[in-house]
Amino acid sequence: MTDINYDDLISQLKEELNTECAIANRYGIVLASYINEFNKGKVIPQKILELIDSRIAVANDLNIDQINSLALAAKENNYLFTFSEELILISKLSLDVNLGKLMPVISAFIQKLSKSSKEAQFDKFSKFDFSKEIGKIESALDKERPHENKFSIIKEMVNYISKV
């Protein structure tokens, strides 16, 4: 599977949903963005990451399995943070957008994208042949063994002098 082009995904979301979006990984590093507050390559501000991270504790307090999205209402826009295990999708929405209709679509999108992202990550792993490395170590040790007795005469002389 090839790498996911997050810039293309963000442009498609912008066209389809008519919203500014950004995608970040689970560590808060922005992978692609059309939102000025969350530029590509930057890290989501610490307070926002703490809020996102606290969703597990909030879910426990509310006796629910998980929280998939957080919405922040500001004076001019709404910010919708939708997350999966691997990714965070940030949407900057106008105040007249119906969040009830938009949130299920965005949640389904981020879950599918996260699954694709996870599959892409595991495809890059390859098996490492440790037997070759072990063979190299053993041959290096075999070369060093004849030299172990090289200084035995000096060792015997030091022992003899130290006893006298």
Indicate if 104 and 54 belong to the same structural domain: yes
Spatial separation of the C-alpha atoms in residues 97 and 71, rounded to whole Å: 12
Regarding whether 70 and 47 lie in a shared domain, the answer is yes
* Joined tokens for residue 21: 């979006």
Beta-ladder partners of 90: 22, 81
pTM of the model: 0.63
Report the chain's mean pLDDT, rounded to a whole number: 80
Contact of 102 with 96, CB cutoff 8 Å: no
For residue 81, being part of any structural domain is answered with yes
Supply the range of the domain harboring residue 99.
6-123
For residue 49, pLDDT beyond 70: yes
**Encoding tokens for residue 1?**
């599977």
What is the DSSP-derived secondary structure letter of residue 37?
Answer: T
104 vs 66, which has greater pLDDT? 66
Which domain CATH number covers 44? 3.30.450.30
Site of tokens 């996260």: 114
- Do 85 and 136 lie in a common domain? no
Task: Please tell me the predicted confidence (pLDDT) of residue 126.
Answer: 59
Could you tell me what percent of the chain has a pLDDT over 70? Answer: 83
Banded model confidence at residue 64, pLDDT cuts 50, 70, 90: very high
What local confidence, expressed as pLDDT, does residue 11 receive? 85
Convert the pLDDT of each residue in 86-137 to its tens digit. Answer: 889 898 988 887 777 777 777 777 777 766 655 545 445 556 667 777 778 7
**Has residue 69 got a pLDDT over 50?**
yes
Taking 80 as the threshold, does the pLDDT of residue 7 lie above it? yes
- At residue 13, does pLDDT exceed 90? no
Count of domains observed in the chain: 2
One domain for residues 63 and 139: no
Any domain includes 158: yes
> Per-residue confidence at 1, pLDDT binned at 50, 70, 90?
very low
SS3 content of the chain, % helix, strand, coil (to 5): 50, 20, 30
pLDDT at 150: 64
Looking at the fold, whether 61 and 116 belong to one and the same domain comes out as yes
